[in-house]
Amino acid sequence: MASDFASSIPAELDSALRLKTVQYFVTKRPWLDLYGINVRPVAPFGSVSRKPYVDPALIHRSLPDELLFEVFARMNPYDLGRASCVCRKWRYTIRNPVFWRNACLKAWQVIGIAYVV
């Protein structure tokens, strides 16, 4: 029965239906033309000119912990809160109560009362 239906369709109509079906599956998506425009060109594997790419935004990963501790110890409470949003390592480091105690004592110390660090 299906073959009877297929044989009754004229050749011109059959090709038009196939074209319409193909256009349905292959739609024009103009936003896909923008894909990969900002991608840096990659040197071929094993090339002499291939240099490791270091993202300057990841400088906080290469800083030694002692330097981070010194920087965090000099921050006020507001800046400590902002710095804890940088990455997980900084958040867990800043959770140390020593940093918060020093920052709060410096920020809200009463004049005439010496605080012990």
Q: How far apart are CA 86 and CA 15, in angstroms?
A: 59
Q: What is the mean pLDDT of residues 64-81?
A: 88
Q: Which of 53, 55, 35 is nearest to 43 (CA)?
A: 53
Q: Convert the pLDDT of each residue in 51-68 to its tens digit.
A: 666 666 667 677 788 888
CATH 1.10.10 fits 56-107, yes or no: no
Could you tell me if residue 46 is left (phi over 0), alpha (psi between -120 and 50 degrees) or otherwise beta? left
User: What is the full DSSP assignment across 84-103?
Assistant: TTS-HHHHHHHTSHHHHHHH
Question: With bands split at pLDDT 50, 70 and 90, how would you rate the model's confidence at 87?
Answer: confident
**Whole-structure pTM value:** 0.45
Identify which has the larger pLDDT, 3 or 74: 74
| Residue spans per domain, the chain | 56-107
> What does the pLDDT read at residue 62?
77
